[in-house]
Amino acid sequence: MSYVIGADCVDVLDRSCVEVCPVDCIYVGERKSYINPTACIDCGACEEECPVSAIAVDRVARRDEALNVHLEDSRVFFDLPLPGRSEPLGDPGGAQKIGDLGVDTELVAGL
């Protein structure tokens, strides 16, 4: 189980969730942030801190069509090469060490 960030985060990027994440698993794209499901420890701190209620646990996201799209999109963000990149991001071991990525998935870029 992990958390997912939905469309309400697009163009907001408040970063409150990033600041409270104890395992540094929230990566910042150009228009939206993404939670690495491999690193997420399901603490829920990000969900409580989000000012726009864009974060939900995956079991809730699977039942909500709009959030379910972003659940799959988060997988794409980490598992497939992002636009302009030749390799997938994968699990780099923490968002702070690589900084803001400045790129989003095709889904988010197209919103």
Q: Which residues contact 11 (CB under 8 A, 6 or more apart)?
A: 31, 32
Per-residue pLDDT tens over the stretch 35-60: 999 999 999 999 999 999 999 999 99
Place of tokens 């993404």: 34
**pTM for the whole structure:** 0.94
Identify whether the C-beta of residue 61 lies closer than 8 Å to the C-beta of residue 70: yes
| pLDDT recorded at residue 1 | 63
| pLDDT recorded at residue 13 | 86
Q: Which residues contact 51 (CB under 8 A, 6 or more apart)?
A: 12, 14, 16
Per-residue pLDDT tens over the stretch 10-41: 999 899 999 999 999 999 999 999 999 999 99
What is the domain partition of the chain in residue ranges?
A: 3-109
Percent of the chain with pLDDT over 70: 99
Cα 46 to Cα 53: distance, rounded to the nearest angstrom: 10
Q: Which residues contact 93 (CB under 8 A, 6 or more apart)?
A: 39
* CATH code of domain 3-109: 3.30.70.20
